[in-house]
């Protein structure tokens, strides 16, 4: 499941060392949550860890991802619990591990309404909504919309207050 052999072969940067530690301790737990049938294990190796992705998320969000200690408070208080495919804790974990495809395939960063409930309660002082924003921005900046304004129904456009459209388009269109 974890291809640790590839790790020592290369000169390990401090980031990679941290990752190796994270891999050996916490990965099996997260796999259980997200990959229930265990039929498709995540392989972590130099080739599957996207360091650029980790750096980009940290740069856009300004949040040091390593600060997260995986306590799960964010997951407990998130009002979108019922709809999200990964909890915020999982999102951060998979981002720490550079699993860009896993993170971006989930709907969590789109469902996040930037309500800051998790930010107020995070014992490590992480601004989690900023991490979600970074994930949205990574997709939106490649000119991919999540919401298509011209596919909204006439009824919706006539009825919804202006600030709903303004905020939705700011968060969900490129």
Query: Which residues in 99-138 contact other proteins (CB under 8 A)?
Result: 110-111, 113-117, 119-120, 127, 129-130, 132-134, 137
Residue with the two structure tokens 């456009």:
157
User: In angstroms, what CA-CA distances link 15 with 7, 32, 98, 153?
Assistant: 12, 25, 11, 47
The Cα-based distances of 151 to 108, 142, 148, 162, 174 in angstroms read 22, 20, 5, 17, 15
Distance of CA 36 to the CA centre of its chain: 19
Q: Which of 69, 79, 105, 144 binds other proteins (CB under 8 A)?
A: 79
The binding track of 35-64 with respect to other proteins, each residue x by CB under 8 A or -, is ------------------------xxxx--
Of the two residues 9 and 158, which places its CB atom closer to other proteins in the complex? 158
How big is the chain, counted in residues?
174
Give the residues lining the site for other proteins (CB under 8 A).
Answer: 59-62, 79-80, 82-83, 110-111, 113-117, 119-120, 127, 129-130, 132-134, 137, 146-147, 149-150, 152, 154, 156-173
């Amino acid at each position: 499941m974890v291809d640790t052999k590839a790790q020592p072969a290369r000169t390990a940067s401090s980031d990679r060392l941290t990752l190796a530690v994270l891999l050996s301790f916490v990965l099996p737990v997260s796999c259980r949550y997200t990959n229930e049938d265990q039929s498709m294990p995540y392989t972590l190796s130099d080739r599957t860890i996207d360091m650029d992705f980790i750096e980009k998320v940290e740069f856009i969000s300004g949040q040091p991802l390593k600060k997260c200690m995986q306590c799960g408070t964010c997951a407990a208080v998130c009002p979108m619990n019922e709809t999200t495919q990964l909890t915020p804790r999982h999102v951060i974990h998979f981002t720490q591990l550079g699993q860009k495809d896993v993170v971006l395939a989930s709907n969590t960063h789109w469902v996040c309404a930037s309500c800051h409930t998790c930010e107020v309660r995070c014992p490590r002082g992480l601004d989690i909504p900023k991490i979600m924003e970074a994930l949205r921005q990574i997709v939106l900046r490649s000119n991919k919309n999540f919401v298509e304004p011209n596919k909204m129904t006439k009824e919706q456009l006539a009825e919804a207050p202006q600030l709903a459209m303004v905020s939705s388009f700011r968060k969900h269109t490129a």
